[in-house]
Amino acid sequence: MLSGVDHDVPDGIGMARLAWTRLPTADGEGAGPSTSEAADDELLSGAAIESLDYEVIENYAYREEQAQRSKFWVPYYVMLKWLFALLIGVGTGLAAIFINLAVENFSGWKYTATFAIIKHSYFVGFFVYTVFNLALVFSSVYIVTNFAPAAAGSGIPEIKGYLNGVDTHGILLFRTLVGKIFGSIGSVGGGLALGKEGPLVHTGACIASLLGQGGSAKYHLSSRWVRIFESDRDRRDLVTCGCAAGVAAAFRAPVGGVLFALEEVTSWWRSHLMWRVFFTSAVVAVVVRSAMNWCNSGKCGHFGAGGFIIWDISGGQEDYSYQELFPMAIIGVIGGLLGALFNQLTLYITKWRRTCLHKKGKRVQIFEACLISLVTSTISFVLPLLRKCSPCPKLETNSGIECPHPPGTDGNFVNFYCSQDREYNDLATIFFNTQDDAIRNLFSAKTFHEYSAQSLITFLVMFYFLAVVTFGTAVPAGQFVPGIMIGSTYGRLVGMFVVKFYKKLNIEEGTYALLGAASFLGGSMRMTVSLCVIMVEITNNLKLLPLIMLVLLVSKAVGDFFNEGLYEEQARLRGIPLLDSRPKQVMRNMNARDACKNQKVVCLPRVSRVVDIISVLRTNKHNGFPVVDRGQNGESLVIGLILRSHLLVLLQAKVDFQNSAFPCGPGVLNRHNFSDFVKPASSKGKSIDDIHLTEDELGLYLDLAPFLNPSPYIVPEDMSLAKVYNLFRQLGLRHIFVVPRPSRVVGLITRKDLLLEEDNNNVMPELQSTSVRGLLNGKMLGGNIHLERPLLDNLVIE
């Protein structure tokens, strides 16, 4: 509609001149755009972070590439997205199967050897058990510290930051994927108070990112024909699929995985992406289910029914009374208090680690993890001795529960150093099982009086302490399963009290254990919808949905009173500038000018000397620079924004240098492709220290117009900061220009102007407005184009 308005500026720069006003000086009354962002801050660990470029930069190279694409490019592009969604699901599912098989078999071998030895010598069994755990933990921390430092922790705060627009270098590399997989096997198989679910989310994101960039060029595992997703926006979509696949593989909860990606890690959403994420999660469910059927035939060693098998409590409590709602609400309050305390304690300990302990080198990190492993092994081996063995109860013949169960396999009623064969140790039943099997035991129905209150309280205190201390060590660590274990312990305690108080036979302690698990996760991670669906899927009991919703709402409300969620706290500690879902209240009383009034604008002329560009890059850490040019009246006009990374590409290529200080001709269009400016995923890219120029080259000139973004987002200086905040978060922006109030209207676009129809292979807008007909007849309003509709709608642009 507006293409014929300004025929004297065919390069598109003139359109920006018409729309934008004069750039205010840095020292003047008007405040210029802020070219610095929080992504330039340094992490506490010393690793820099950088914002991602989700905005499409429509420069000459981009337009030329769009014009050269054939009509088959779009179908190929869509087909490849769906193919990658399939491959992400298969890859994440296979990674989860491998991790679960390894953890279950290592644990099975460990318990089998330990239980066989303690029949003859308790101390030799303790030594074997401790050495086995120590070896696995040492392998995990050694891999992380010496091979893949970014694999430490759960990885969810970093992935959440990535999908929020912040790139932490190294989090999506191939070595991070390898370190995450093998490190998780060592840390979880070594008996630490950690889980593998968070690392699986990071694993799925790494697989998705590697597929999106065509593999790993460093390890010669790349393919050119799939290297089509070169923008951060496309990679963001793939990483979202990977996050959902990780949750679906960890809990065998495909719907929960989709909702986790929607609620917890993304700050935007689209319907087309929803379909691909759902498809990816469904693929994961099929792959994992196939592996379960294969393992049921006895080909998986000690795997048995462990790992990602559903914690089925469908045969438990069928109904509940209104009298039980009060103790269930109490469970929610306890979960909120313990979850908030957990977040605060881990925050303090992690701060101390990062500022004091981990700065002393890798050996200290390895020693710390090994020391925690020794403490964990000692506690889990010594504490069961404090409890007397109990005789096996009479069990129903069709319950599928055996007392005591064979050593090295999953199940209830562990015989640990008991004098009689038909006895079990209730505290050892929790400690001497994998975490998945221990949770299944705590959730199990028809197991009244399996655990004593003293054993549950002892385990709660010790495991809570171990989870707080272990979280933050240099190993892959998730907090889903440890949180479920903590919550299910005090939940079962409340259930025991309710059974004793109400004296009703239809009350199941396992039901209260499930509600306790949901309450602690809600109080710590502050998840609601996705966690509710995950808990329903992993327990296969839809009747408990209202009760899970109740405890989640109560626990989240209590936890929010004290601090933020676990991932938000850890992201802030790591220096990741996450944008919350809504702006702070104080932003509503501020405007865009207030936010950038103390910042100095660093601009570049359209035709700049190379030495000046080098000087600007060396003296500033900004990642974007406004480009100005002289207008017809000699005024300085902003013509666009050029990124630091693009400047480094141009300086290193040197093919665009020119002798004159005048704008270049059209020949520059063929010197670069759009892919030349693409930064490798999760890579630091080029640095100014990598640029080496001679004295003659420093004296040459560079025309920036063909490479800048001629249409970045701009806001008037009096726009409220809350509205600017919402723009940043919803559009995934990196820079916004703040300009004085525009004095001229070029056009007014409404929703109907964006409804296009194809007429004879030409895209034409619907012509329903009289003002549009007047425009086509050459009528102008005051020299400006003015498009209006009888009914104004809000402008919605995806």
Q: Residue 43's pLDDT is what?
A: 37
Helix (H) or strand (E) run with residue 497 in it: helix 480-502
Q: Nearest 5°: CA angle at 453, between 451 and 457?
A: 110
Does residue 72 sit within a domain? no
Determine which helix (DSSP H) or strand (DSSP E) holds 762, and give its type and residue range. strand 762-765
Domain CATH for 591 = 3.10.580.10
pLDDT at 26: 34
Collapsing DSSP to helix, strand or coil, 216 comes out as: strand
Residue type, 105: N
Q: How many domains does the chain have?
A: 2
Q: What is the predicted pLDDT for the residue at 216?
A: 60
What tokens appear for 618 in the block? 């060396």
pLDDT at 736 over 80: yes
Six token digits for residue 337: 């208090």
Is residue 50 in some structural domain? Answer: no
pLDDT at residue 738 tops 50:
yes
Is pLDDT of 224 > 80?
no
Count of Cβ atoms closer than 10 Å to residue 770 Cβ: 11
**Residue 500 pLDDT more than 70?**
yes
What are the phi and psi torsion angles at 364 (to 5°)? -65, -40
598 plus 501 within the same structural domain: no
The larger pLDDT score, comparing residue 280 to residue 772, is at 280
Q: Which residues of 374-516 form beta strands (DSSP E)?
A: 390-391, 423-424
User: Residue 772 has what pLDDT?
Assistant: 40
Q: How many CA atoms lie within 13 A of 134 on its CB side?
A: 14
* Confidence (pLDDT) at 243: 93
- 386 shares its domain with 279: yes
Ranking 500-509, 592-601, 624-633, 724-733 by mean pLDDT, the lowest is: 500-509
Residue 769: predicted pLDDT: 41
Q: How confident is the model at residue 626 (pLDDT cuts 50, 70, 90)?
A: very high
The pLDDT-based confidence of 776 (bands split at 50, 70, 90) is very low
Q: Is residue 764 part of a domain?
A: no
534 & 613 share domain = no
Higher pLDDT, 420 or 614: 614
Q: Which of 521, 549, 574 is the last residue of a domain?
A: 574
pLDDT for 390 equals 79
pLDDT at 556: 94
> DSSP character for 702?
E
Residues 518 and 626 in one domain: no
Do 413 and 231 contact (CB within 8 A), yes or no? no
The torsion angle over the Cα atoms of residues 222, 228, 233 and 235, rounded to 10 degrees, is -30
Percent of the chain with pLDDT over 70: 78
Q: What is the mean pLDDT of residues 506-531?
A: 89
With contact defined as beta carbons under 8 Å apart, do 53 and 232 qualify?
Answer: yes
Question: Would you state the pLDDT for residue 697?
Answer: 86
Please give the model's pTM, rounded to 2 decimal places: 0.83
Ranges 52-66, 193-207, 461-475, 590-604: which has the least confidence = 52-66
Same domain, yes or no: 538 and 598: no
Asked whether the predicted pLDDT for residue 54 surpasses 70, the reply is yes
- 20 is a domain residue: no
Report the C-alpha gap between 372 and 384 in whole angstroms.
19
Pick the closest to residue 478 from 566, 575, 368 (CA basis): 566
On whether both 518 and 562 belong to a single domain, the answer is yes
Mean pLDDT value across residues 182-189: 93
My answer on whether 506 and 593 are in the same domain is no
Q: What is the pLDDT of residue 266?
A: 72
- Between 9-13, 333-337, 382-386, the lowest mean confidence (pLDDT) is in 9-13
Same-domain status, 637 and 526: no
Confidence of residue 346 (pLDDT cuts 50, 70, 90): very high
* Domain assignment of residue 636, yes or no: yes
Q: Is position 789 within any domain? A: no
Are 619 and 539 members of one domain? no
Residue 25 has pLDDT above 80, yes or no: no
What pLDDT score was predicted for residue 666?
52
CA distance 518 to 513: 9
Domain co-membership, 88 together with 153: yes
| Alpha-carbon span 703 to 701, nearest angstrom | 7
Query: Which pLDDT band, with edges at 50, 70 and 90, does 46 fall under?
Result: very low
Q: Which helix (H) or strand (E) holds 375?
A: helix 362-382
Comparing 696 with 670, the larger pLDDT belongs to 696
Q: What is the CATH number of the domain that holds 501?
A: 1.10.3080.10
What mean pLDDT is reported for the chain?
A: 79
Residue 797 lies in a domain: no
Is 782 within the bounds of a domain? no
Query: Do residue 567 and residue 598 come from a single domain?
Result: no
Domain end: 574, 595, 623, which one? 574
Q: Residue 99's CB: how many other CB atoms inside 10 A?
A: 26
Q: Which of the listed residues 574, 600, 618 is the one where a domain comes to its end?
A: 574
Same domain, 382 and 296: yes
pLDDT at 180 over 50: yes
Which pLDDT tens digit goes with each residue over 415-451?
Answer: 777 777 778 888 888 888 878 888 888 887 766 677 8
Predicted confidence at residue 398, as pLDDT, reads: 57
Q: What is the residue range of 686's domain?
A: 585-754
CA within 13 Å, CB half, 179: 26
Whether the pLDDT of residue 19 is over 60: the answer is no
What is the spatial distance between Cα 403 and Cα 91, in angstroms, rounded to a whole number? 38
Strand 624-630 versus strand 604-605 pairing type: parallel
